[in-house]
Amino acid sequence: MLSSDKNIFVSIPAESEEQVLHPGTIVSVEDKIYTAELEEEGLLTKAGQEVLIYYEVERTFMKELAWIQAVIQGDPKPAISFGTSGRPICTDNRACYRVPLAIKNLTANVGLEEGCKLLEVSQAGFAIIASHFLTKGEFIEATLCYGHGEFSGRARVQSVKELGHGRRRYGFYCVDEKMAHGSLPRGLHMISMAVQRDHLRGSRR
């Protein structure tokens, strides 16, 4: 099922409470060892580490246990070589995974700050880079901008990380639950699913 030019996601166990899907593309296969270029730099991977590989087969989302053979500092993109150590398993809860948005150039308005860079989304929440100071547990109004639409609702600050130079990385949990038109839950669901589909089909926005 895995083959050269196949678009995949790599999930690193124990990386966070939510499973994060890091996009990549298989560039070569030799003796059942796959080499995949990754879209992100600085992932905490090392030789011998177990990871999960996600991919799509005939519109079915699959996962497979794998082990990293080597980490390659490629140019321009980093890469890993890996082998699989289990059978592919169908997984139907893909909307719950958190997806990085580094190459999508999407933004969010959070509180009084507009145009914040949107880093990650899942059905449950999102992460941004902002300069305004917010405290953990604080409730704010948020609007995600996607396509020609805006999706607004309430969110709670779940994590805060100082990045330096007055910049902070905030993780938010969506408080609202109703999937109404223009609601934050609807936007989170639409964006996370669309980004996964776009990557697996090899398209770029």
Predicted confidence band of residue 204 (pLDDT cuts 50, 70, 90): very low
pLDDT in tens, 45-97: 899 999 999 998 887 889 999 999 999 987 778 999 999 988 899 986 666 68
Range name among 92-101, 136-145, 161-170 with the lowest pLDDT average: 92-101
Element (H, E) at 162: strand 149-164
Secondary structure (DSSP) of 21-48:
-EEEEEEEEETTEEEEEESSS-----TT
pLDDT in tens, 141-158: 999 999 889 999 999 999
User: Considering the chain, what percentage of its residues have pLDDT values greater than 90?
Assistant: 61
pTM of the full structure: 0.74
Give the per-residue pLDDT at 99: 85
